[in-house]
């Protein structure tokens, strides 16, 4: 994913098609100068439909589209002919897209599968022709039903990245470096904060040709849930991940405190995130020896599995993949790991 092309938020004005009016018409033929009513019904207006497309990974194609308009239904005509139905407008979006009402924030639709279709705004129904209103006492009705008006609204489309594992950490914690080492992804890497400005996805190869997807989310800072830093703009991407991998460098002043700050920000954004499986990876561990690792282990949080890794020296990466795979597929930890914790 290149930064300029990754668009995960668009606001567009949508309007479905209005229903066509019914016709007021009477049968007129050579030997039937005063036939009964034969006005046809109006056609239904076109729907606006969201369709999931697994080949899309961004909302870039909608960035400069400010208005979406479905076709109106055609009016009815004589000889009981119904008007043509308005053409539906199908909007293809990436899997993981959520549609919300711009004014109320209410969730309207959520696309989770390839090819899934959800009607965003319904087209208006066509009006009934005058043939429907004939009665024994009113055999020549000179009125018909108008078509239903179109629905229109400002709609916000948000993309939440779909991945098995989400990398969570402060800026410059080594998330992008890890992703570049364990997958073929090529995120921008530098030694300054906020290098990553858009989520990056990488497919990690595992044993026996298996694989899982990892998402590198831009760094979180304290107060992110209130919008500080990149804040709410990217916290929503973590909601889709099965497992959260917390990454903190071993040279941090207080590893336990940083872990709880990250946890607190996720909880404030969405309390359900605290129910996800978590793993704590201490990065840049090639900087310390085994004795120091043992001393640090005593100060680490006890409620989360931990592992020391180094992306540059490629230390502990296979063990990390094993831990992630087991967490994704709800497999128990090996007996040795449990004994070590005790």
**Domains of the chain, residue spans:** 1-159, 165-341
Query: What CATH topology corresponds to 1-159?
Result: Spo0b-associated Gtp-binding Protein; Chain: A, (2.70.210)
Token pair recorded at residue 256? 């336990």
> Do 165-341 and 1-159 fall under one CATH topology?
no
Question: Nearest-CA neighbor of 311 among 187, 212, 211?
Answer: 187
Centroid of chain to Cα 275: 20
**Residue 44 · residue 73 · CB < 8 Å:** yes
pLDDT, tens digit (0-9, with 9 covering 90-100), for 60-76: 888 888 899 999 999 99
Question: For each successive 10 residues of the chain (342 residues), what is the average pLDDT?
Answer: 64 95 89 86 96 87 90 93 94 91 90 92 94 90 93 91 82 81 64 53 83 79 50 65 88 87 84 87 87 84 88 89 89 58 45
CATH of domain 165-341: 3.40.50.300
pTM: 0.67
Question: Nearest-CA neighbor of 46 among 18, 86, 13, 84?
Answer: 86
Sequence-distant (≥ 6) Cβ neighbours of residue 16 within 8 angstroms: 45, 46, 47, 48, 70, 121, 122, 123, 124, 150, 151, 152
* pLDDT for the residue 286: 86
Question: Nearest-CA neighbor of 145 among 158, 132, 155?
Answer: 132
């Amino acid at each position: 994913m290149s930064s300029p092309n990754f668009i995960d938020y668009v606001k567009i004005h949508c309007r479905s098609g209005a229903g066509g009016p019914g016709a007021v018409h009477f049968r007129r033929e050579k030997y039937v100068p005063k036939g009964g009513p034969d006005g046809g019904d109006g056609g239904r207006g076109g729907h606006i439909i969201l369709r999931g497309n697994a080949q899309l990974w961004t909302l870039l194609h909608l960035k400069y589209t400010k208005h979406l308009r479905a076709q109106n239904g055609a009016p009815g005509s004589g000889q009981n002919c119904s008007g043509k139905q308005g053409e539906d407008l199908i909007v293809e979006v990436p899997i993981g897209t959520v549609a919300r009402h711009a004014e109320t924030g209410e969730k309207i639709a959520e696309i989770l599968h390839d090819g899934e279709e959800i009607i965003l705004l319904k087209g208006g129904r066509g009006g009934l022709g005058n043939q429907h209103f004939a009665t024994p006492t009113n055999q020549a009705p000179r009125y018909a039903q108008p078509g239903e008006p179109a629905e229109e609204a400002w709609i916000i489309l948000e993309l939440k990245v779909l991945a098995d594992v989400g990398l969570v950490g402060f800026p410059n914690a080594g998330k992008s470096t890890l992703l570049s080492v364990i997958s073929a992804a090529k995120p921008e890497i530098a030694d300054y904060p906020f290098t990553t400005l858009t989520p990056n996805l990488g497919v990690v190869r595992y044993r026996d040709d298996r694989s899982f997807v990892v998402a590198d989310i831009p760094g979180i800072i304290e107060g992110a849930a209130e919008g500080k830093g990149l804040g709410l703009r990217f916290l929503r991407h973590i909601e889709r991940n099965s497992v959260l991998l917390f990454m903190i460098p071993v040279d941090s002043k207080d590893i336990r405190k940083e872990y709880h700050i990250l946890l607190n920000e996720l909880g404030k954004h969405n309390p359900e995130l605290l129910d996800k499986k978590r793993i704590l990876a201490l990065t840049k561990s090639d900087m310390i020896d085994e004795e120091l690792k043992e001393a640090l282990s005593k100060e680490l949080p006890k409620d989360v599995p931990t592992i020391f890794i180094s992306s540059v020296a490629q230390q502990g990466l296979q063990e990390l993949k094993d831990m992630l795979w087991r967490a994704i597929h709800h497999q128990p930890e090996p007996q040795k790991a449990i004994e070590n914790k005790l």
